[in-house]
Structure 1
Amino acid sequence: MDRFDRIFELNRILQAARYPVSRQQLERELECSRATVKRLIEEMRLYLNAPIVYDRKLNGYRYDPREGEMYELPGLWFNASELHALLAVQQLLERVQPGLLESHLQPLRRKIDDLLARQQGDTGESLSNRIRLIRATARPTSPFFTLLAGCLAARRRLHLVYYNRARDMLSEREVSPQRLTHYRDNWYLDAWCHLREGLRTFALDAIRQAWQLDQVAQNVEEAVLERHFTDAYGIFSGQAKELAVVRFSANAARWVATEEWHPRQQSRWLGDGRYELTLPYSDPSELLMDLLKYGPDVEVVSPPELRSQVQQRLRSALDIYNP
């Protein structure tokens, strides 16, 4: 546990205890040394105005009962993931229209508002007004989301009319939904396609029509789904067929070196300050888009096919600006 975790846990222990808590018990429950326990108690007394007293007769610590109301910790900052989760849920709930779940969601709204309010102190201003969550390249929510989620839960097959952007054409297919995926601010359906006899990913905003079928959906084991959908780079699924070796300039490396592009990436610093990444991929489409935004700050070393595709994209872009 880190320092904040131990402060919260110490507060919980003292609030729940009917009798003074010994130092030895605090060491066990907080998983720390005698010195750490003493330091935490002193910090809470000094900086958080916690009325912790030592009862010599019962040889333990407790909150001073003479303080009246039960002591509560003042606002302590959330960590980054907690704050993002709270604000994201708050914003999502604000967009939910009144409906079947309204009575269930209202207590959750109030709880999140209360948690965020604890961080604003005495300013009277909402913390959410000082923090922005920006959605990038998000596409419209699919009108079929509820239907897809229902079929996923009921384990029923779907009939889809799907628009393939790359080929600019519609196709019809029967699928067994496996899971919904939220990726880069957009929703996707991972499903077993009975037309192609394999796993496929469908962008929800590209589904033109959908209806539930009576047939039971075909199940795919979780381990198989994980291998298929996480082996290669990005949203494009399938077994990784190639390894891309790319080198970023010393300038771009300051940012790229702190990023995770893929769970199985390999990286190294080069002698001249450049940064090299090795990434597994299947379909190069998304990888190309992510690399091209770095312009002259990235070089594809291998494989030759990927390097050639980058060269062709750059030439085509340059042709637009040449007379």
Structure 2
Amino acid sequence: MSRREKLYHLHDILRQRRTPVSRQVLMDELGCSQATLYRLIAELRDVLGAPLEQDPETRHFFYDRSLAGSFELPGLWISPEELQALLTARQILANVQPGLLQDELVNLQQRMSQLIDQEGIDFSEHPERIHIRHDAGRPVPGRLFEDLLQALFQRRRVTIRYHGRRRDEVSERTVSPQRLTAYRDRWYLDAWCHDAEGLRSFAVERIQALSSADAHAEELDSDALRAHYDGAYGIFSGPAEHRARLRFSPEASRWAADEHWHPDQRLERLDDGAVELTLPFGSSRELVMDVLRYGADVEVLEPDFLREQVAGAARAMIALYGDDRPSAGRRTAKEAKGAAS
């Protein structure tokens, strides 16, 4: 039995019995140890508010009959975070091309649906009532994903043919997989690159081919991985060498203040309703993109080079949309009217 099933069974035993129940009887009924029984009793009494008492002489357990009639275990017994995790995991499984794992993935999706149904949500009957959008997600072939998982957990090196977007070049690399990272609905392989002799991140959907290198993977310390990949802002990894200070307008602060930018961020609310956000970063590429989405509602205060990068991107946008610049997509009002007719 699961923990939840044990709790429901314990509740039923105590509710139906008219006399106190001994510890040993409860352990036998639930098929659990004494330590597990005491944890279940504490959760039932202290967390869920059951009227559970213990006889001072026999130390047997019972429900206070004057309160037991009005107590029921909640039908919806799952936190929002747990529900979102289950639904997101199910959605990810639905979006990954299953490949050789098709039957296993279908069974796992069905099991997740059953877990959600047990909470009284009846998800299987109305799955359309929960919608998780993955607009910017990039699908990954199931066979490739399976091969990466096997190499990752079997600790084998792999050789990949990789098409990098930034340079628009295809290269062949031998890498030691360290971990798979899901970030903004996209998968990344964090690995030690033996050709570059350093840690690198590879967008999984850009891996064109993968083969085993028939060698054990280089094993890196987990603290070193966290320092390299998680210490700075965004997916473009590297040491957190800089700290950015951003000022959001009072209106934009209503959104920006509630966003989780980085675990080590600092947020200061100003008297005029604006907020200042400070966070560590290494590469500025992704940070510049995220600052630009707030437009004129955010100002980079520090460091100067980041401020200039954002300003340069803004100037380039102004030049792109300037009135004096001819555009193949721009038509006169007369041309637009003629096309509409």
TM-score (norm 2): 0.74
| Deviations 1:228-261, CA, capped at 9 Å, x for gaps | 1111101111111111110101111111112221
- SS of aligned partner of 2:225: helix
Deviates further, 141-150 or 109-118: 109-118
- SS of aligned partner of 2:49: helix
The one-letter code matched in structure 2 to 1:238 is G
Is the counterpart of residue 292 in structure 1 residue 282 in structure 2? Answer: no
Determine the structure 2 residue equivalent to 1:45.
Answer: none
Determine the structure 1 residue equivalent to 2:316.
Answer: 316
Contact kept, 8 Å, 2:114 with 2:124, in 1: the verdict is no
How much does 1:318 deviate?
Answer: 1.3
How much does 1:124 deviate?
Answer: 9.9
Distance 1:136 1:21, change over 3 A: farther
| Deviations 1:267-295, CA, capped at 9 Å, x for gaps | 10122211001111111011111110000
Distance 1:177 1:285, change over 3 A: same
Distance 1:129 1:20, change over 3 A: farther
TM-score (norm 1): 0.77
Structure 2: distance between partners of 1:187 and 1:237: 14
The one-letter code matched in structure 2 to 1:174 is T
Is the counterpart of residue 30 in structure 1 residue 29 in structure 2? Answer: no
Identify unmatched segments of 5+ residues in structure 2: 23-36, 66-70, 325-341
Matches within 5 A, 1:149-160: 149-160=149-160
How much does 1:116 deviate?
Answer: 3.0
How much does 1:315 deviate?
Answer: 0.9
Structure 2: distance between partners of 1:120 and 1:268: 41
Determine the structure 2 residue equivalent to 1:133.
Answer: 132
The one-letter code matched in structure 2 to 1:156 is R
| Deviations 1:70-109, CA, capped at 9 Å, x for gaps | x995621532111112223333455675856736963x44
The one-letter code matched in structure 1 to 2:198 is G
Matches within 5 A, 1:93-242: 93-94=93-94, 97=98, 102=103, 106=107, 108-118=108-118, 126-142=125-141, 144-242=144-242
Contact kept, 8 Å, 2:160 with 2:210, in 1: the verdict is yes
- SS of aligned partner of 1:264: coil
How much does 1:203 deviate?
Answer: 0.6
Is the counterpart of residue 40 in structure 1 residue 49 in structure 2? Answer: yes
| Deviations 1:138-189, CA, capped at 9 Å, x for gaps | 0121452222222112211111222221112122221111111111111111
The one-letter code matched in structure 1 to 2:139 is P
| Deviations 1:185-221, CA, capped at 9 Å, x for gaps | 1111111111111111111111122211112111101
Deviates further, 129-138 or 227-236: 129-138
The one-letter code matched in structure 2 to 1:145 is F
Distance 1:73 1:97, change over 3 A: farther
Is the counterpart of residue 14 in structure 1 residue 23 in structure 2? Answer: no
Contact kept, 8 Å, 2:7 with 2:44, in 1: the verdict is no
Contact kept, 8 Å, 1:15 with 1:63, in 2: the verdict is no
Matches within 5 A, 1:44-83: 60-62=61-63, 73=73, 75-76=75-76, 78-83=78-83
Distance 1:62 1:8, change over 3 A: farther
Contact kept, 8 Å, 1:74 with 1:118, in 2: the verdict is no
Distance 1:102 1:158, change over 3 A: same
Contact kept, 8 Å, 1:119 with 1:127, in 2: the verdict is no
The one-letter code matched in structure 2 to 1:261 is W
Structure 2: distance between partners of 1:263 and 1:234: 11
Contact kept, 8 Å, 1:245 with 1:278, in 2: the verdict is yes
Q: CA RMSD in A?
A: 3.8
Structure 2: distance between partners of 1:172 and 1:28: 55
The one-letter code matched in structure 1 to 2:172 is E
Determine the structure 2 residue equivalent to 1:4.
Answer: none
